[in-house]
Structure 1
Amino acid sequence: MSSRRVVVTGLGVIAPGGVGREEFWNRIVDGKPAVRRITAFDPSPFRSQIAAEVDFDPAAAGLTPREIRRTDRFVQMALVCADEALADSGLDLETADRDRMGVSLGSAVGATITLEDEYVVASDHGRDWEVDHRHLRPFLYQALVPSSAASELAVRYGAHGPAAVVSTGCTSGIDAIGRAFQLIQDGEADIMITGAADAPISPITVACFDAIRATTPSNDDPEGASRPFDADRKGFVLGEGAAVLVVEELEHARRRGATIYCEVSGYAARANGFHMTGLRPDGHELAEAISAALGQARLDPEAIGYISAHGSGTKQNDRHETAAYKRALGEHARRVPISSIKSVVGHSLGAIGSIEMAACALVLKRGVVPPTANLATPDPECDLDYTPLVAREVRAGHVLSAGSGFGGFQSAMVFSGAA
């Protein structure tokens, strides 16, 4: 096993309810859902008409007109998050060895908004089967190729090391950080700009989730609609957002006197090979990912002081996840506090894993576990400590985050207190 240890030295977050990590932290600790009727377009034709939107103005956030024209909303949020994360890290780009700095960014659906908007224009609202390319924007290729997100960040900061986009559905955020972790362990880089971004709130995405009835129809109560582990839950709330972390090799961070949030101590991923959208009720594959991540971190289950749950708010996922924790952690699963921040910021698909890892880093640093909002009547089959309604002071030395994604992806990551 590699002796190169990896630490988090910077955080940047854009999430529903606020731009910046402090607004994000305050929102999830207060347990105040940032969910409303969709404003990005007219949602009235759809079954689910609510979402956790971000009030994000790229110009006000400092992006140039050229950057705004060239990039999709998900890339814009990633750029702004990366600016915050690098500033937080204290990294001096003028003196950093940028040949040893790379980018690992996750996204599930890439430039969905741009692609849909451009198709509507080119096809005259779907009327024409053969579209006229002359009506399309000149930067459509960048929207079509998800890797453009990593290249935008690499160019912006002069990062000449490994750069790629990881797209594994709803585990993309964890998996992108996992890839960055492995690259540093393997000696391919000393610094990685990593995380994920997604801006999926568009008619095509809403229609797709409507078709499989995965999203909640509780349009009359937006703030109470995201109800992970609650008996009255009716599906997840779509969201958007981004989080970027600066991760470094430990000795590199120490030499420059960086403030360290935590250590990335374990990561593992599995696939269930079972069903495109279905989950085995026994939670076997997620439990295997959790056990493998704990093994890499050289930790017993009893060492985990908090779990950031996937907690999407669908009955299938919540019961699957509960079974996985029992399977992987044994009796400790009943003692450890668990919560789902999706109850506050919704489910931003590929971005949510990195947003949850940012929350984990802040939990370790600040000693507070955010609550699961709206958890008033626990599902009897979800009988673990899901931290209902109110935040809790917990000094956790090690935290676990777990994620599940369509396609059968199951991922887990362990963060440990600063070395």
Structure 2
Amino acid sequence: MTEDQLEQEALGWLGELGYQHLYGPDIAHDGDNPERESYRDVVLAMRLRAAVARLNPAVPLAAREEAVRQVLELGVPVQLSANRLFHRLLVSGVPVQYQKDGETRGDFVRLIDWADVKANEWLAINQFSIQGPKHTRRPDIILFVNGLPLVLVELKNPADVNADLVKAFDQIQTYKEQIPDLFQYNEILIISDGSEARMGSLSADIERFARWRTIDGVNLDPLGQFSELETLMRGVLAPEMLLDYLRYFVLFEDDGRLVKKIAGYHQFHAVRAAINQVVDASRPGGSHKGGVVWHTQGSGKSITMTCFAARVMQASQMENPTIVVITDRNDLDGQLFGVFSLSQDLLREQPVQVATRGDLREKLSNRPSGGIVFATIQKFMPGEDEDSFPVLSTRSNIVVIADEAHRTQYGFNAELKVDTLKVAEGQARYQVGYAQHLRDALPNA
């Protein structure tokens, strides 16, 4: 199979998923059906304007034009920082102001309809030439949603033993330097040599480019071990899946060095399954049991928890829930709190950390809604003058995430605790585990 044949096969799969195929030279400014003013244009501005008008009919034309201008002119010189700004506009909408009924109103112009897949326009364009400051380059396939170039696919010749994934990755690094404007809008990078395929973020090194091994979230490698590209495309790029992925599974962390991270298949499907379970469990008559997600060491537990929290916070059925994140060590509490704090773009909420037992009660008692609260399980210990932990909230839309539930947290049933040195004094007592104290504090969580 040649590189061109692989490209055509990939375009065929994308067509089956619902993408319309266009040939890059046809829509160039000098093509048969021009949609670009020059090869420097990386956004299909006419299609973007049409989508903005279609998705925001109540917003005046001038405000819609201002939104398009903000997208086309991000005004941030650093590539990854511009990408972060664009992602924020993509997910949350473009902030605009306009006059209505004699008042200045603030609004957000939507670039994508997250609820209705078919309200968006899905294009797969091959051989889309782009002119940079000094070079003109032509990526293999770019996926456009509403005129925005969100996914880049770089393919290498399967018949050439020297044209492997590393070469495809290196090609993308060259593109980033020579046609940088394209990458301000990129969400996912995909590389493949026909048999292998990997996906990664704009800031990822090649070790962070990962396989996507499932289509339905249940079966691994359903098409066989040599069909990685087709599995990835059908598993991630199907429009409904891609919308969910872009909205909740892309995050930026900035601790002095900005990094973009995207979820793996195990994180994506774990969160999707957990959300359904949590929504059902929180309903009247529900079990109040969300479930367990297993992770091996180094598999990205923190990203899973962050994406899950973001998804829960924005689930309409949960009605602005409160997230309580429980660990059993101060260092783990601080570490996870740091990860969440760096991901405010995704969470849209500044998490808070509980300092003392009294602080825990203050932060959770009678909280009406919202918030992400971090605490160690030990802070749920009753006071010396209390037989059980007092109720802090009876709300059912509180979601508790326990990180590494160890034996210290077990025990809903009271057990007789005997101090052998004080048996003669009759000081044996019944004691329950921290899990019971937590449930006493939040009985409907």
TM-score under structure 1 normalisation?
A: 0.26
Ranked by relative contact order (alpha carbons within 8 Å, sequence separation 6 or more), the top structure is: 1
- Higher Cα radius of gyration: 2
TM-score under structure 2 normalisation?
A: 0.25
